[in-house]
Amino acid sequence: MNIIEIKDLVKIYDDKKTVPVTAVNGVNINFKPGEFAAIVGPSGSGKTTLLNLLGGLDEPTSGEILIDGKQMGNLNSRQKIDFRMHNIGFVFQAYNLIPVLTAKENVEFIMHLQGQSKKARDKRSQELLEAVGLGDRMNARPGKLSGGQQQRVAVARALASKPKFILADEPTANLDSKSTETLLDIMEKLNIEENITFIFSTHDARVVNKARRVITIEDGVVVEDKER
C-alpha cells in the first residue's frame, strides 16, 4: 500500500511579468510506508518545489497528490493546516526553531496546537529529545545550541505529532561533517525502528549514500528512480 501517490503533478510559476517557469512537469511517484528516500538534482531542478507541494505548502497547477488515499486538492486552507499538523513533519535547512522557547518547548509546540495534555506533551518531548541525544539540553534555548543540536531539536519537533511521514528540505546544508553523520544516524534509526517515512530534498552526497531510494529530478522531470 502506498502512503503517498503523486499523479501527473505540474507546477508552473507565472507572475505575468516574466516568462512562466515550469518547476514540476508531469511527475508520477508513489511512496510506501517506511521509505528512506532522497530527491536529488541540480539547483532549480524542482526538488524543493516538489517537497513543498507534497507538504501542502504550495498549490499544484494540475495533477493530484493523495496521502493515505485522501486527495489534498479537495481540502480547503483550514483543512490543509489541520491535515499537515496531524500527518506531516517538516525539517528545514534553517531549523526554524522559536528562539524564545527552550528545546523542550519547541518540541511540545505542535502537540500544544493539537490540544494534547501537559502530561502527554511532557512525556513525548522528553522521550524524543533523549532519542536525538539531547536529554541533557531540554531547557536550553536555540541560541545556546550548536547548529547540529538545533537541527536535532527540529527532527524531534517534526516527530512530535506522530506524523505519517517527514519531509526534510536540505536538512544537512548548514552542518559540519560530524553533525551531519550524527543527524543521519538518528534519522535512519528512527526510520528503521519506528517505520517512519523520510523524504529528503538534498545536494548532500552523505544523505544520498544513506538513502535506500534515490529519485533524480531535472528541469521538473523525474529522470531516474532507483531503489537500493
CA distances from 211 to 92, 200, 218 (A): 18, 9, 19
* Gap between the Cα atoms of 216 and 223, Å rounded: 6
Which residues touch 174 (CB under 8 Å, ≥6 apart)? 93, 94, 95, 147, 151
- The x, y and z cell numbers of residue 206, run together, are 552523505
Domains of the chain with bracketed CATH: 32-60+70-227 (3.40.50.300)
The closest of 145, 143, 119 to 132, measured between CA atoms, is 145
User: Other CB atoms closer than 10 Å to residue 118's CB: what's the count?
Assistant: 10
- Which helix (H) or strand (E) covers residue 187, if one does? helix 177-194
* Gap between the Cα atoms of 148 and 186, Å rounded: 12
pLDDT at 218: 96
Give 193-220 pLDDT, tens digit per residue: 889 999 999 999 999 999 999 999 999 9
In DSSP notation, 83-103 reads: HHHHHEEEE-TT----TTS-H
Give 63-107 pLDDT, tens digit per residue: 999 998 889 888 888 998 888 888 999 998 888 899 999 999 999
Residue 156 in 3-state DSSP? Answer: helix
| pTM of the predicted structure, to 2 decimals | 0.91
What is the chain's mean pLDDT, rounded? 92
CA distances from 77 to 57, 126, 148 (A): 10, 32, 33
